Structure 1
Amino acid sequence: MANLLFYMALILIWVMLLYHMFLMQGGYRHFQTYEKIIPKWEKNMVDLPTVSVFIPAHNEEVVIGQTLKAMSRLYYPKDKLEVIVINDNSSDRTGEIVQEFAEKYPFIRMIETKPPNRGKGKSSALNEALYQSESEIIAVYDADNTPERMAIWYLVMGLVNDPKSAAIVGKFRVINAAKTWLTRFINIETICFQWMAQGGRWKWFKVATIPGTNFAIRRSIIEELGGWDVKALAEDTELTIRVYNLGYHIRFFPAAITWEQEPETLKVWWKQRTRWARGNQYVVLKFLSQFFKLKRKRIIFDLFYFFFTYFLFFFGVIVSNVLFIINLFYDLQLTIGNVSLALWVLAFLLFLTEVMITLSIEKAEMNLKNFFYVIFMYFTYSQMWIVLVIYALYLEIKRVLFHQEVKWYKTERFDQKGKGGSL
């Protein structure tokens, strides 16, 4: 029995590793080709649609000033652009800072959340802005984001030129990547997510996931869907599944770039990632239970990815680790012996190879320092994820069994050398 479990665990781990290698190849191909279509698409950017940029903000005084500075520099006709900051029950200077920008820039305005949306989290804040705006296209950014000048232009360009796309998602990079060992790990993780999970799945399957920031969606689509799901902690993933079920696709267009702040302490990272894990587990279980009712079966690629990531893969890792540890103290008569060691070494080398190739896509990221960080990351950061996913699953099971209310955790921000604040 122990041998069977061990073999099953190894198969699950290797399937995931090989799948990510496959995605890495797709992401690299997408990197080599996505810019070629821009000159042709530029010619159709004539009769431009109106755009509303939604920025949910709860106690964001540390970062909101820098974010709005970036918004004020966006390349898009200002008579067709509005930036809406949704001040969600803030008790700090967020409202004052936003008001300063609103007085200087007519296309920036602030709205306050109202009951029942007040203080309920990101989805409720976004729904509030949806009710109080009329633009044809809605873009969403987190309050710690500084999009590059052309970001909105490229997001809109994708929607104008691809009528089958309900949403266009851009690329995000880590602005504080060099701050701590943790942010360096997150930077590597983020680059891999962009080019493997987003670029790779788009290239091979025409599938991408709406992120929490730097995306644009057609108002008609989000209204047809009834807005954002206030029960979902991962509102972006949940929205993704519903968009595909309508028969549209979501395009990954990395020309649209934003820079975002990542957690600099383990405590903040743990809370944020726990919310992410719980949110994605909620989405997987919600839609797998409805799978035969879903109209578009291509959604299986997205459900498969998240189900494998948050359930099967971690099950395989946990089982193999547990059996290995038990076997140190009690002979389980595992016959795999040296073969398991060879497979583990090969798995590590495969992990190292696919991550370093992915890092090579971004300028200056494939270097000796990151090479050693990737090695260290495998034995520390990657293992931390296992514990976190188990903890998140425990919380999610407890929520379902005891009918607990979903509580939103807002990620703590860090002052980047005094860049936050007012004008």
Structure 2
Amino acid sequence: MKRDWKVYLQQKGASHLQSALVLLVLYTLTGAVFYAALNYAYREFEALGNLRLFIFCLLIPLFLKMAVQLLVAPWYGIVDRLRYQRRTSKILPRVSVIIPAWNEEVGIIKTIESVIAAKYANFEVVVVNDGSTDSTHQLVTRFIANHKVCAKTKGHPPIQYLKLKNGGKARAMNQALQVANGEIIMTIDADSVMDAYAIRRMVDRFTDDSVAAVAGNVIVGNRNKPLELMQQLEYLYGFFFKRTDDVFKSVYIIGGAAAAYRKTAIEAVGGFDESIITEDIELSVRLLNHGYATRYAADAVVYTEGPADFKGLCRQRLRWKFGRILTFFKHSELFYSVQSHHNRYLSFFVLPLAVYSEFLLLLEGPLLAFFYGYTIYAFDFLPLVFVVLFLTSLVTIQVMLDSKAKFHLNLLALAPVSWLMFYLVDVVEFQALCRSIKRLVTRQELRWQKWQRAGISTSPLQ
């Protein structure tokens, strides 16, 4: 044990040193931008004036999207409280928390422990093992055996366990739905840790019968390496804008790491789609397609483990990107739909701009080459300075407004260099988009992909 602890400390120390060196480089580049802006005079370069105008016009839809998100997101708290006060039922429903697992020996016990410790009186846990070949089955059955003894005296919730042949996550989820007794179905990945109040806070968002699904606030719990810090920042940034989607009741990406559904709604639309790799995203879009509303619970937190290496991250984003594109094709009738049961904000704003963003991602390389070439040649560093200051301010505000602001305080050091870290995010997204397009053209399927996990600590909950 002493040797393992020593190795752990050495690895953690190496990760912190690596992060410090990366930060030093990023701060140096950021400082160089401000130095150039203060010390070099702008010189006119009229030859590229028309091209600059063309690029600006290309970016107008994204500027519009950002403006709407920034204007609407601050209203999230007020709208959320009003909806809660006007809720149609004040009875807390029974909840079934489903934990799907496939070779999750590293973290599944921590996941189950965090769920059964939830501060909610009326719920059960359903663990579904989708043909794991590691020690997941032995770990879970041993834990349940011990749990049954403790449950009688400590009042812990009951745990159901399903052991299936490997058939995919969606099939496993559908099997779990058949035995789940809750009115609300909540899912959490087996590499995640749930906050004690997550169940109650997600249930609170089912304010009327039109709400079919609620997304929780997923936070990256491992944050030692630079790549992990990048994901922590990315998740914070992205989930913040779900507040805007919540105001319009149209959250179209509800990830399985922290999702809650009205069981009757899932059954009404036919359960999880077993033919698509991102069954969670497809289900949330399908519910919206059927006229249901979806919401976001910013204070319902689940900590997840992000990939710790670049290859694993690229695989994860390929799955997300490919599955989302397939979902768009499957539910293409949602785009610019004038049907009365479709959400106008979703059909005319969110979905078209999501596709447009992918188009711009393909052009990002040439656009950035022109932008930085022009910036250096003309000494026009003020637009870049504005971007740095804007993102620094935005990330700082997002940290302060998050329900786990204390956990995210480390991101304040990253805020001034976030503009550079988002470029790495774009690199990962670009490779995922190119590989997805290739698979679409060649009609190649994508199987469920995993990466090496180390597990996350339960310390974030404390």
- Could you tell me the TM-score, scaled by structure 2's length? 0.75
Partner residue, 1:185: 230
Are the structure 2 counterparts of residues 286 and 83 from structure 1 closer, same or farther at C-alpha, using a change threshold of 3 Å? same
C-alpha separation in 1, matches of 2:213 and 2:430: 32
CA distance in 2: counterparts of 1:368 and 1:150, whole angstroms: 26
Secondary structure, in 3 states, of the residue corresponding to 1:252? strand
Q: Deviations over 1:114-160 (max 9, x none)?
A: xxxx423221211111123333221111111211112112222322x
Q: Deviation per CA, 1:314-357, whole angstroms, max 9, x where unpaired?
A: 4335436326758999xxxx9xx969976566555544443343
What's 2:151 paired with? none
Asked if the contact 1:245/1:295 (under 8 Å) is kept, the reply is no
Deviation at 1:68, TM superposition (A): 0.9
Give CA deviations for 1:43-77 in whole Å, capped at 9, x if unaligned.
9644x332211111000010001001111211223
**In the superposition, relative to structure 1, how do residues 206 and 212 fare at CA in structure 2: closer, same or farther (>3 Å)?**
same
CA distance in 2, matches of 1:71, 1:237: 23
Q: For residue 178 of structure 2, what is the aligned residue in structure 1?
A: 131
Aligned to 1:173: 219
- More deviation in 16-25 or 251-260? 16-25
Distance in 2 separating the partners of 1:324 and 1:245 = 36
Q: How far apart are 1:3 and its partner, in Å?
A: 8.7
Equivalent pair of 1:174/1:261 in contact (CA under 8 Å): yes
Amino acid at match of 2:142: E
Which position in structure 2 is the counterpart of 1:226?
A: 270
Contact 2:289 2:334 survives alignment (8 Å) = no
Q: For residue 94 of structure 1, what is the aligned residue in structure 2? A: 136
Deviates more, 1:132-141 or 1:300-309: 300-309
Structure 2 counterpart of 1:10, which letter?
F
Cα distance change on mapping 1:287 and 1:294 into 2, 3 Å: farther
The correspondence of residues 17-416 of structure 1 with structure 2, limited to 5 A, is: 17-31=63-77, 34=80, 40=85, 45-46=90-91, 48-77=92-121, 80-106=122-148, 107-113=158-164, 118-159=165-206, 161-176=207-222, 178-196=223-241, 198-203=242-247, 205-209=248-252, 210-288=254-332, 291=335, 296-298=341-343, 301=346, 304-309=349-354, 311-319=355-363, 321-322=365-366, 325=369, 346-347=386-387, 349-362=389-402, 363-364=405-406, 365=408, 368-399=412-443, 404-416=444-456
**What's the secondary structure of 2:171's corresponding residue?**
helix
CA RMSD after TM alignment: 3.4
CA distance in 1, matches of 2:328, 2:49: 30
Give the stretch that moved more between structures: 298-307 or 266-275. 298-307
Query: Deviation string for 1:379-401 (max 9, x for gaps)?
Result: 433333223322222223322xx
One-letter code aligned to 2:162: I
Counterpart CA distance in 2 for 1:141 and 1:71 is 9
Q: Aligned partners of 1:318 and 1:70: how far apart in 2? A: 41
* Aligned mates of 2:86, 2:451 — CA distance in 1: 37
Evaluate the alpha carbon distance shift between residue 181 and residue 394 of structure 1 in structure 2; reply closer, same or farther with a 3 A threshold. same
> 1:239 Cα deviation (Å)?
1.1
Is the contact made by 2:131 and 2:166 (CA closer than 8 Å) also made in structure 1? yes
Deviation string 1:258-308 (CA, Å, 9 cap, x unpaired) is 111111111111100110011111111222257569663316616853553
Tell me the distance in 2 between the aligned counterparts of 1:281 and 1:9: 25
Q: 1:219 to 1:125 in 2, by over 3 A?
A: same
Three-state SS of the structure 2 residue aligned to 1:128 is helix
- Distance in 2 (CA, whole Å) between partners of 1:247 and 1:257 is 27
Instruction: Name the SS of the counterpart of 1:213 in structure 2.
Output: helix
| Matched residue SS, 1:258 | strand
Pick closer, same or farther for the CA change 1:105–1:28 going to 2, 3 Å: farther
**2:291 partner letter:** G
Opposite residue 74 of structure 2, the aligned amino acid is: Y
Whether contact under 8 Å (2:396, 2:412) holds in the other structure is no
Q: Which moved more, 1:167-176 or 1:313-322?
A: 313-322
The answer to whether the Cα contact below 8 Å between 2:217 and 2:300 also exists between their aligned partners in 1 is: yes
The residue type paired with residue 180 of structure 1 is K
Secondary structure of residue in 2 paired with 1:82: strand
Higher relative contact order (CA 8 A, sep 6+): 1
Structure 1 residues 161-170 or 362-371, which shifts more? 362-371
| Cα distance, 1:257–1:185 mapped onto 2, change above 3 Å | same
Give the deviation of 1:25 after TM superposition: 3.8
The amino acid of 2:250's aligned partner reads: V
Conservation of the 8 A alpha-carbon contact between 1:245 and 1:294: no
In 2, distance between residues paired with 1:282 and 1:417?
Answer: 35
Deviation track 1:67-122 (CA, whole Å, cap 9, x = no partner) reads 01111211223xx4221111011011111111122223341121022xxxx42322
How much does 1:373 deviate? Answer: 4.1
Q: Which has the larger radius of gyration?
A: 2
1:374 and 1:8 map into 2 onto residues whose CA distance is 26
SS in 2 for 1:374: helix
Distance 2:74 2:440 in 1: 35
